[in-house]
Amino acid sequence: MNKKTVKKGLIPYVFLILIMLGVFYFVTVANQKVNMLTYDEFMDSLNSSDVKELEVKPRARASIYEIRGRLKKYKENETFYVRVPLTDSIMQRITEISEKQNFEFTTVADPESNSLLLILANVLPILLFAGLAFFILTRQMGGGKNSLDFGKSKAKLSSDKNKVTFKDVAGLKEEKEEVKELIDFLKNPRKFQKLGARIPKGVLLYGPPGTGKTLLARAVAGEANVPFYYISGSDFVELFVGIGASRVRDMFQQAKRTAPCLIFIDEIDAVGRQRGTGLGGGHDEREQTLNQLLTEMDGFGENEGIIIIAATNRPDVLDPALLRPGRFDRQVTVNLPDVKGREEILAVHAKNKILAPNVQLNYIAKRTPGYSGADLENLLNEAALLAVRRNKEAITMSEIDEASDRVLMGPAKTSKNRSENDRKLVAYHESGHAVVGIKLEGASDVQKVTIIPRGAAGGYNMMIPSEEKICSTKTDLLEQITGLLAGRVAEEVVFGEITTGAENDFSKATKIARSMVTEYGMSDLGPMQLEQQEGSVFLGRDYNKSRNFSNEVAHEIDQEMRKIIDECYKKATKIIKENRKLLDLLATTLLEYETLTKEQIDYLVKNGEMPNEDETSYEKMSITKLKELAKEKGIKGYSKMNKVELINALEGLEK
């Protein structure tokens, strides 16, 4: 067993013992009543035979006797205390009376006569308090073997066991090209120095979370085969002012000994935020740490052979001094991968997984726009967990589809009992989204429609753009709003009633419409940006929006937004009414199958009926067919089960 583990395990017991001793003290000692007697009162009680027990302790240095005892009239928790002169006559008198009256009489040796006991009594409490203070201080400052070295750097040196190269980094082709110069410099710096070229001292990687910034930095070190120090920005900042700056100095001193090398600072915004900001001024410790980092990167000293790579999701809050040439000379944006990049990332994460022959990574890549590398890894991991849970030998498209739904919307709520009227409302609501998506030219492709509740949604419609775009046109945004409003339109057209199910649709549609008017200049107000995301660095720059308009313009903005929403609502109503038969067909089929895939929807639109049911796939069967199979196999309560519960029950019998 590890000695550190044993020590940590003993600490709670030590505190428990101290607490028990404290409780014992208050119960036994604190409740005692001690009466202070004078010399005359004590002698009167002694002569009148009132003493029940007596304890005498000589104090040679003070020339007194400390006498404690109890009188016959005292209660159980009551004692007396008296000091008398240190004379032989008093002791002789007490001894004679005790022999006559036969009360309990004890004599305690003078503790001051024992030098060792005296030292322990005076020094031990001081040592205990000093030890406790030292323990608390070292725990606060990091603990460990070098607990007093809290000013030392916490940067860790990566081992060869965790070596990463560019082969392990997929979907970042341009980003890898940007950092290849660093590798060449670390391998052969003289080639650059010969022509007077100065390699960037720092490279800032920024982009959305999960896009592979840390992985790319580790790959640079792995390709160059140089030492790689990594540390988080929050590891610099401590309770005491000056510790962070000390750790920065120590980190660069360590790096100089092993140069050429790489230093990777993750989440640098924790220490590199703009100075002098905040409602109450700056943070002294953080600002001193940042000042030291600025000096080390490009101050009076030289850090030849040391390249710093930093990563952050918030480059907008960094101090301008960090981003100037000579510090972070190069800034590389690590964007979300495109469809080709997603396929490459999926191939990397699928190496250690067993995939069924029908699983096509390019198809999964097309269905996952907006996914980061971390999202894709999580998708395959969730699919693998589902395959294990279902006792399958390989991961099929069924598990990947379910994993995608779980990542986006959460697990299916199979235990939620809904009335037939609720199912019908949700079916028509989702079918309304699908009809508008199908009939609008240039609209997103409908990939999946389901009425199985997930998360806070009673159902959802997965629509993916036919092609990935960098910029959205006004027509694209208007069609998005029209598609979002189509669910409410379908409810109103079919039932003549509206529900609360379109709340999230309205929220998204309103945000798009307001952005079109106030940020994109896509209204009659003209090409002006009336609002922009802005805020103080202390509040993260996204706490509020700056508004550069008067009350009259605010009224015009509201009118323009209403105009956009009303026009899209009318357009959605027209499409729904013109395609009522398709709406009824989709809704009726949804009630029967609960989930429709893109292939099934395309076949249904073209032929007016569903394709022949696949006898080998429960997912593609209707609820009626599944209930017939459940009845044949004697599954109890099948009539009240939904599709997911029926599939789980049938698969359970096969296992």
The residues near 649 (Cβ < 8 Å, ≥ 6 apart) are 630, 635, 638, 641
DSSP for 433-485 reads HHHHHHHSTTPPEEEEEE-S-BTTBS-EEEEE-SS--SS--HHHHHHHHHHHH
Contact in structure between 641 and 416 (CB atoms under 8 Å): no
> How many whole angstroms separate alpha carbon 258 and alpha carbon 252?
10
Question: Collapsing DSSP states into helix, strand and coil, what is residue 531?
Answer: strand
List the beta strands (DSSP E) in 20-63.
33-36, 51-59
The residues near 561 (Cβ < 8 Å, ≥ 6 apart) are 510, 513, 514, 517
Give whole-number Cα distances, 298 to 253, 267, 292, 321, 348, in Å. Answer: 15, 20, 10, 10, 38
* Residue in the structure block whose two tokens are 């004890």: 106
Question: Collapsing DSSP states into helix, strand and coil, what is residue 163?
Answer: coil
Strands 460-464 and 33-36: unpaired
Identify any residues that bridge with 157 across adjacent strands, giving them in sequence order: 229
Backbone dihedral angles phi then psi of residue 89, each to the nearest 5 degrees: -65, -35
Identify any residues that bridge with 33 across adjacent strands, giving them in sequence order: 78
Strands 64-71 and 51-59: antiparallel
* Residue in the structure block whose two tokens are 């120090």: 229
Specify the DSSP class assigned to residue 573: H
- Side chain identity at 564, as an amino acid letter? I
> How many whole angstroms separate alpha carbon 644 and alpha carbon 453?
11
CA 124 distance to own-chain centroid: 46
The residues near 95 (Cβ < 8 Å, ≥ 6 apart) are 105
Contact in structure between 484 and 505 (CB atoms under 8 Å): yes
Read off the tokens for 608: 């007016």
Q: Is the peptide bond before 453 cis (omega within 30 degrees of 0)?
A: no
Return the half-sphere exposure (C-beta side, CA atoms, 13 A cut-off) of residue 559: 8
- Residue 479: CB atoms within 10 Å: 21
> How many whole angstroms separate alpha carbon 185 and alpha carbon 190?
8
Nearest to 37 by CA among 61, 57, 66, 3: 66
628 is catalytic: no
The single residue of 175, 238, 402, 430 carrying the catalytic annotation is 430
Contact in structure between 289 and 248 (CB atoms under 8 Å): yes
Catalytic residue positions, numbered: 430
